[in-house]
Structure 1
Amino acid sequence: MTFLNHKYQELTPYTPGEQVDEQVYIKLNTNENPYPPAPSVQQAVSEAAQKLNRYSDIAVETVAKPLAHYLGVKQEQLFLGNGSDEVLSYLFQGFTEKGIAFPDVTYGFYQVYSNLYQVETQIVPLKKDFSLELSEYDELKGTVIFANPNAPTGIYLAQEEICEFLTHHPDRLVVVDEAYTDFGSQSMVSLIDQYKNLFVVGTFSKSRQLAGARLGFGVGNTELIADLNRLRFSLNPYNVNSLSQAAGGAVLQEQAYVDQKIQETIRVREWSKKELARLGFEQTDSQGNFLFAKHPKVAGEKLFTSLRENNILVRWFDQPRIKEYLRITVGTQEQMERLINVLTTIIEEVTV
């Protein structure tokens, strides 16, 4: 016997990356930042913990004011959420009345939210090289959403192509999920005033080292933000807790530290690409903090399980188009050197 509403009984939830003891495993499976936040951020959280007897600020002023300044937007063009996943959830719940379209290989939560909110969904296959062609969305209806750079492929769609689509479809909301944009691609945020049908989603989880804080944001026209807040105040006005607000406000004062770690991640990413190519891997030109690669002589599942046996976790998706690929988070230089050494041994053993 179940008490769950029948319309949810077939719901397939999102499968997050495995969390493990990092003293045992090298964790390259969830696209987290391998570097801890700056000491001042940790201190700010510690101080905020002394006031947990009070509710958090519903305006999230500690984050909203400096974030708006950094992004070059008005505070009323910002929406703060409990991770970018919550921002996405509100979008699927409230802005998909005419349906939604997204790629077949992309962030798994898009399909989960479509099912949860029972949205009419149109899945558009990526090209053979995993590139996104927006012209294939021209004849569809409703909202369009895509990650840019895409996950798990890491491929980036140029700004001018997005602008062309926005111009041709002013009556359709276009959501650009920019979780990974800080690692080498161009953000659409500066174009918010130019395109009223553009909404950009961002996160503090990746480049700002705050995955555990659960802090995300959206940027759009003031009317859209007001509607999002109508939904938020109807469900959970205190959605961003005090510790996350403290962490977010503090990390925005540490941009030099954040930028330094971004550049280090990019450097290690490009080094890792070359090393994987040397081992014979085929890979996309990822612009995220992860790699997407397959080996022509070793199955993806085999590589995944062999790496795990060597205490290295990566992500493997048992999906037809990408089952031979691994998504590998870019870790520290030391971690990636260990990965390359283990992969070298695995490949030698299998192909000898």
Structure 2
Amino acid sequence: MSRFWSQVARDLTPYVPGEQPKIANLIKLNTNEHPFPPSPRVVEAIRAELGDDGARLRLYPDPNADRLKQAIAARHGVTTREVFVGNGSDEVLAHAFQALLKHDAPILFPDITYSFYPVYCGLYGVDHVAVPLAADFSIDPADYCGQRGPNGKIGGIIFPNPNAPTGCLLALDAIERIAAANSDCIVVVDEAYIDFGGETAIPLTRCHDNLLVIHTLSKSRSLAGLRVGFAVGHADLIEALERVKNSFNSYPLDRLAIVGAVAAIEDEAYFRHCCAAVVASRETLSTDLAGLGFEVLPSAANFIFARHPQRDAGELAGLLRQRGIIVRHFKLPRVDQFLRITIGSDDECRALGNALREILA
């Protein structure tokens, strides 16, 4: 720690991303990356944008990413004025915290959820209240209907759907109930994993001007390496995000990210095929682990959250690592005996099952 650090830097507890080890022949099931490559159209679009000599890279990209906004708007049946894009959903979330969630009242989010939320609260000076999940680790919509902060107000609500790291899904009618009960504040739904088993809340934005839905192309579109995310909501909400973005970085998405993202969104058949394959692998792995004595939470994501009643989760993670398989272990209250396991390829899932059989035997 340097004497030149600001108080903000001193007080922060940064987010810790999943490990990205540089080990050969590793089965990497810890960061929820897609087991399949992106659509072949993505590679073609990037090659076309580069051209023979890459000369276009000397030019700034479109600051508004209009072509990408048009593709997103067309797919989701909204206008481009209702679409915001950024460098992955994390940047979109960051702008939402600054533009929409920073008020004089605390925001609400689950006590077990995406751990970037409290980090952004610390970075941007946003007070918050962690709402406990139900005993089955689900989000109870009643907990977000009528709850208020110390001054009788709340500054907003944010939660992932499906939730992370649990994978549990909240039904659309529950989301609509939360939005309707909190019409005086913003409700942000983080749908990073929605394409693996849920139904997007984007259509609800037509009748709820306080609802913002955030997506990423890192998961279901296999573009974690390009960093593209977007939000859909009422044009007034999008305008606030644009004001913050243009006061921070007026060129957030590069040329390759824009054309690659457009190609991924437009290849609907490939997208649906890959998502269906992940869902099938998830169900097979869930059944396999249940047969080994694991408690597996119901998941609508590209990962599962599981614990074994007779084996310590940290010990299991260590023994798997010795066998060249890494999974995510969160040393947090209530979930420190769970492992979050990304759905890999069928071969990777089989290898995981075989390793666990060996360990448990």
Task: Give the TM bin, normalised by the shorter chain.
Answer: over 0.9
SS at match of 2:170: coil
SS at match of 1:213: coil
Structure 1 position 54 matched with structure 2 position 55: no
Corresponding residue for residue 299 of structure 1: 312
Structure 1 position 83 matched with structure 2 position 91: no
Distance 2:121 2:4 in 1: 22
Structure 1 position 180 matched with structure 2 position 193: yes
> Displacement of 1:48 after TM fit?
2.4
Does the 8 A contact of 2:100 with 2:240 survive in 1? Answer: no
Distance 2:7 2:180 in 1: 41
SS at match of 1:95: helix
> Displacement of 1:74 after TM fit?
0.7
Corresponding residue for residue 283 of structure 1: 296
Corresponding residue for residue 124 of structure 1: 131
Corresponding residue for residue 151 of structure 1: 164
> Displacement of 1:252 after TM fit?
1.7
Tell me the TM-score normalized by structure 2. 0.94
1:157-306 residue pairs with structure 2 within 5 A? 157-306=170-319
> Displacement of 1:62 after TM fit?
2.4
Distance 2:215 2:155 in 1: 22
Does the 8 A contact of 2:313 with 2:337 survive in 1? Answer: yes
Corresponding residue for residue 103 of structure 1: 110
Please identify, of 58-67 and 118-127, the stretch whose mean Cα deviation from structure 2 is larger.
Answer: 58-67
Does the 8 A contact of 2:141 with 2:177 survive in 1? Answer: no
**Residues 74-120 of structure 1, C-alpha deviations (whole Å, 9 max, x = no match):** 11100001000001001111222132110010001001101111111
Structure 1 position 318 matched with structure 2 position 331: yes
Distance 2:24 2:68 in 1: 33
Corresponding residue for residue 68 of structure 1: 73
**Cα gap change, 1:66 to 1:7, in 2 (>3 Å):** closer
Code of the residue aligned with 2:158 in structure 1: it is I
SS at match of 2:277: helix
Unmatched segments (≥5 aa) in structure 2? 149-153
Query: Matched residue pairs, number?
Result: 348
Code of the residue aligned with 1:133 in structure 2: it is D
> Displacement of 1:22 after TM fit?
6.2
Please identify, of 18-27 and 55-64, the stretch whose mean Cα deviation from structure 2 is larger.
Answer: 18-27
Distance 1:53 1:110 in 2: 36
Corresponding residue for residue 26 of structure 1: 27
Tell me the TM-score normalized by structure 1. 0.97
Please identify, of 79-88 and 91-100, the stretch whose mean Cα deviation from structure 2 is larger.
Answer: 91-100
Distance 1:68 1:184 in 2: 22
Distance 2:8 2:29 in 1: 36
Matched residues, percent identical?
Answer: 41
Distance 1:265 1:281 in 2: 20
Corresponding residue for residue 45 of structure 1: 46
The RMSD of aligned alpha carbons is 1.1
> Displacement of 1:24 after TM fit?
2.1
Code of the residue aligned with 2:96 in structure 1: it is L
Distance 1:176 1:273 in 2: 26
Distance 1:6 1:142 in 2: 24
> Displacement of 1:128 after TM fit?
1.3
Runs of 4+ in 1 over 3 A off after TM superposition: none
SS at match of 2:64: coil
Distance 2:333 2:130 in 1: 15
Corresponding residue for residue 139 of structure 1: 147
Does the 8 A contact of 2:141 with 2:175 survive in 1? Answer: yes
Distance 2:91 2:349 in 1: 32
**Cα gap change, 1:133 to 1:288, in 2 (>3 Å):** same
SS at match of 2:143: helix
**Residues 11-52 of structure 1, C-alpha deviations (whole Å, 9 max, x = no match):** 111100111236321010000101111222112122323211
SS at match of 1:199: strand
**Residues 130-160 of structure 1, C-alpha deviations (whole Å, 9 max, x = no match):** 0111222322212000000000000011111
Please identify, of 125-134 and 276-285, the stretch whose mean Cα deviation from structure 2 is larger.
Answer: 125-134
Distance 2:223 2:273 in 1: 16
SS at match of 1:338: helix
Distance 2:44 2:166 in 1: 36
